[in-house]
Structure 1
Amino acid sequence: MTLRCLLVDDNQHFLLAARDLLEREGLTVAATAEDSAGALGRAAELHPDVALVDINLGGESGFDLAARLAPIPVIMISTHSGEDYADLIAASPAIGFLSKIELSAIAVRDLVAAR
């Protein structure tokens, strides 16, 4: 079964590049969103298997969005290392964290399978 992902980031260039990468590697990016409102609307409409959410959505917190997306599993993503946000990630409902540099379909599948 192919995982259907919701990809949320305030950087449109990253959204395009990440979508291309993940789809080439066999995931389906069901939708993208640049902010919390868009993400919540697309999640309600499409019921993705997992959401990949940037920690910093401009003026919005990706952690706040992760809590609002429940029960959809959320993987937090960032250009920063997970060590920078370790306490916040541990306290969040997210199932894991991926650095944007480490983003891959295999890494997403592994985190979803481990939950």
Structure 2
Amino acid sequence: MSMRCLLVDDSARFLEAARSLLERDGVTVVGVASTGAQALERATELSPDVVLLDLDLAGESGFDLAWRLAEAVSSVIILISTHSLDDFQELVAASPARGFLHKSWLSGRAIRDLLGPEPGSPTA
């Protein structure tokens, strides 16, 4: 089953690179957004399985946006950043996000590992 993903980041270069990397890994990128307002609109409209959300959106907090997204949609939220998780460990743990991925580790497999086994699938 293909995973449907919404990418939220204020870097057009990152959005383009991440889209092509994830699609090679079998993840369908259903949309991209570069602001909180766009993210909420696209997430509501597209109902992605996963929202990859940058912590640093040009003046907006990814943590604040994660709460707004969690209230609006049932998508799994994964926070992403170029910063180390050590910098944000407590904030990530207190957020509604399923987890955190450093942008350099981003891949379909890393996302699937964070999500855990699909219901009904045998566990390895």
TM-score, normalised to structure 1's length?
A: 0.96
Secondary structure of 1:94 counterpart: coil
**C-alpha deviation, 1:114, in angstroms:** 6.1
Structure 1 partner of 2:13: 13
Confirm or deny that 1:105 pairs with 2:112.
Answer: no
Q: Name the stretch that deviates more: 65-74 or 100-109.
A: 65-74
Secondary structure of 1:52 counterpart: strand
User: What is the rounded CA distance, in whole Å, between the counterparts of 2:31 and 2:115 in structure 1?
Assistant: 18
User: What is the rounded CA distance, in whole Å, between the counterparts of 2:98 and 2:52 in structure 1?
Assistant: 10
Which residues of structure 2 form unaligned runs of 5+?
119-124
Which residues of structure 1 form unaligned runs of 5+?
none
**C-alpha deviation, 1:68, in angstroms:** 1.1
Q: Which is higher, the Rg of structure 1 or of structure 2?
A: 2
Q: How many residues align?
A: 115
Q: Is the 8 A contact 1:4 1:49 kept in 2?
A: yes
Amino acid at match of 1:58: A
CA distances 1:29-81 after superposition (whole Å, capped 9, x unpaired):
00000010001110111100010000010100111111111132100000011
Structure 2 partner of 1:73: 76
Secondary structure of 2:116 counterpart: helix
Confirm or deny that 1:51 pairs with 2:51.
Answer: yes
User: What is the rounded CA distance, in whole Å, between the counterparts of 2:10 and 2:57 in structure 1?
Assistant: 5
Deviation >3 Å, runs of 4+? none
Amino acid at match of 1:98: L
**C-alpha deviation, 1:102, in angstroms:** 0.5
Structure 2 partner of 1:62: 62
Q: Is the 8 A contact 1:50 1:112 kept in 2?
A: no
Structure 1 partner of 2:121: none
